[in-house]
Structure formats: structure tokens, C-alpha cells
């Protein structure tokens, strides 16, 4: 099947050979969004972008990524106007502090200040920026799986997916594949995941065995990076990316 512009990122993610193609695709999108927010393109200097970042801010993960990106002035400019808005909004909420009335045996519901903080910390410019594109990637994944035999073979012969993305694919299959095709996909996914979980288990077990004296001169096989791969397979992502 001839590649189209919208299929290239998904094909690239599958061809990368990582433990989870969707983690790979998401990392590429996330890094691109961080660069867009605080990189050399200086999107934060555009008034409409600054208005959005002032309003939504960033989640803990993406604030940390922006900080580590290495643009102190860009971060400071974003923070200066965002924190100014937060300070003004928070002061208004505190000045009008009230707690919702609870039931008969309740001491009261959520206060307006708690609600404001909860809503603020639940928003993130970076999450929003790449979130819709990621959803399209998932739909494109199923389109390719249904229509491209070479893509299907790459999936069947690959390393599978992390458990959170396995769950996402199972949940998304019925709305992206017709009846029997969704069932067949689930069966394929179960076989793929079982085989690759066994592979990861063998790698991490051999990693442990290598620390025994009698194995000190034996080959590491595929186990040298077994720890981050095992963590990534279980919970998703790239633990090694968090190295400082």
C-alpha cells in the first residue's frame, strides 16, 4: 500500500522496533509539542498562543519537560504572564470563598477555591496540542491494519504494545474495525502480547541471573536494558527519558 502523508508517522512508529509503537508515536508528538511551546520557533511570543498558555498552563510532567528543554528566557516569559493570571484569578476566588452545602450528615462540599485549583491543574497546553493528533494516529493504525497486509505483518511480527496501549487498542477496535475483523484483531493481539510478555520476562530473569558469580562471564544476551523495557511494557513510556 502506497504511503500517504497521514500514514507516515504511524508506519515510522511501527518500524522503529520499540516495545510499543504507540508509546513511540506519543513521545514524538509530545517532544514536538514541547519544542513548539518553548523551542526556537518562539510560539510563546505569539499573542494568541500566550493567551492559551496563560489560561490553561501546563501539567506537572510538561512543566518539567519544558524546564529541562533548556530555554530559561522562554520559560520565564511563559511563566510571568501565566502566573500573573493565576494570581489574579486565585485572589478573586479566595475573596469570594464559599463551600457548597453538603447533605444532612456532611460537613460541606467542595469550595470554590478547591474547584478552581482542581480545574486549573487539570489543564495543559501541551496535552491539548498533541492530543487530537494522537487520536488520529490510533484511527490511522486501524485503517492501516485493515487495509495494508505489509503493515499487519509488521504488527504480528513485532514486539507488541505496553499494557495501557493494549487496553486502548482493545477498547478502540470495535469502533474502528468491522465485526469479525475486530474479534480477529483481539485474538492476534492476545497472541502477540503473550509472546512478548514471555520475552520480557526471560530478559529480566536473565538480568537477575547475571549477578550470580557463576554467570559473571556469560553473555548478557538481550538483557542489558531489560529494566527500562520491562517498566515501559508494564506502564508505558520510556523510563530512561527521565534520566537527568
- Asked if residue 53 is part of any domain, the answer here is yes
Q: What is the pLDDT of residue 45?
A: 83
- Asked if residue 150 is part of any domain, the answer here is no
Q: What is the mean pLDDT of residues 183-190?
A: 98
> pLDDT digit string (tens) for 123-150?
999 999 999 999 999 999 999 999 999 9
Q: What is the mean pLDDT of residues 166-194?
A: 97
- Say yes or no to pLDDT of 189 above 90: yes
- Asked if residue 145 is part of any domain, the answer here is no
Count structural domains, the chain. Answer: 2
Q: What is the pLDDT of residue 44?
A: 80
- Asked if residue 147 is part of any domain, the answer here is no
* Boundary-marking domain end, from 99, 118, 133: 133
- Asked if residue 142 is part of any domain, the answer here is no
Same domain for 122 and 216? no
pTM for the whole thing? 0.87
Same domain for 9 and 109? yes
Place 109 in a pLDDT band, splitting at 50, 70 and 90.
confident
Same domain for 106 and 169? no
Distance CA 4, CA 191 (A): 29
Same domain for 118 and 187? no
Look up the domain containing 24 and give its range.
1-133
Q: Which helix (H) or strand (E) holds 132?
A: helix 125-147
Distance CA 86, CA 79 (A): 10
Distance CA 118, CA 52 (A): 18
Same domain for 36 and 116? yes
Average pLDDT of the chain, as a whole number? 92
Q: What is the share, in percent, of the chain residues with pLDDT greater than 90?
A: 85
Same domain for 12 and 64? yes
- Say yes or no to pLDDT of 1 above 60: no
Amino acid at each position: 500500500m502506497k504511503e500517504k502523508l497521514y500514514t507516515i508517522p504511524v508506519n515510522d512508529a511501527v518500524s522503529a522496533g520499540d516495545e510499543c509503537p504507540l508509546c513511540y508515536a506519543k513521545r514524538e508528538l509530545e517532544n514536538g509539542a514541547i519544542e513548539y511551546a518553548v523551542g526556537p520557533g518562539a510560539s510563546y511570543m505569539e499573542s494568541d498562543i500566550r493567551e492559551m498558555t496563560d489560561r490553561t498552563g501546563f501539567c506537572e510532567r510538561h512543566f518539567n519537560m519544558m524546564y529541562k528543554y533548556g530555554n530559561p528566557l522562554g520559560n520565564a516569559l511563559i511563566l510571568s504572564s501565566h502566573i500573573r493570571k493565576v494570581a489574579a484569578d486565585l485572589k478573586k476566588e479566595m475573596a469570594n470563598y464559599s463551600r457548597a452545602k453538603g447533605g444532612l450528615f456532611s460537613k460541606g462540599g467542595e469550595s470554590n477555591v478547591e474547584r478552581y485549583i482542581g480545574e486549573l491543574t487539570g489543564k495543559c497546553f501541551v496535552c491539548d496540542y498533541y492530543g487530537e493528533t494522537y487520536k488520529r494516529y490510533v484511527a490511522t493504525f486501524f485503517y492501516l491494519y485493515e487495509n495494508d497486509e505489509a503493515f499487519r505483518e509488521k504488527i504480528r511480527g513485532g514486539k507488541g504494545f505496553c499494557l495501557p496501549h493494549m487496553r486502548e487498542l482493545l477498547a478502540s477496535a470495535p469502533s474502528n474495525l468491522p465485526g469479525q475483523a475486530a474479534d480477529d484483531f483481539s485474538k492476534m493481539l492476545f497472541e502477540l502480547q503473550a509472546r512478548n510478555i514471555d520475552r520480557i520476562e526471560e530478559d529480566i530473569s536473565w538480568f537477575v541471573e547475571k549477578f550470580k558469580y557463576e554467570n559473571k562471564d556469560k553473555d548478557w544476551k538481550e538483557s542489558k536494558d531489560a529494566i527500562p523495557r520491562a517498566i515501559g511494557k508494564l506502564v508505558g513510556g520510556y523510563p530512561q527519558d527521565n534520566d537527568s
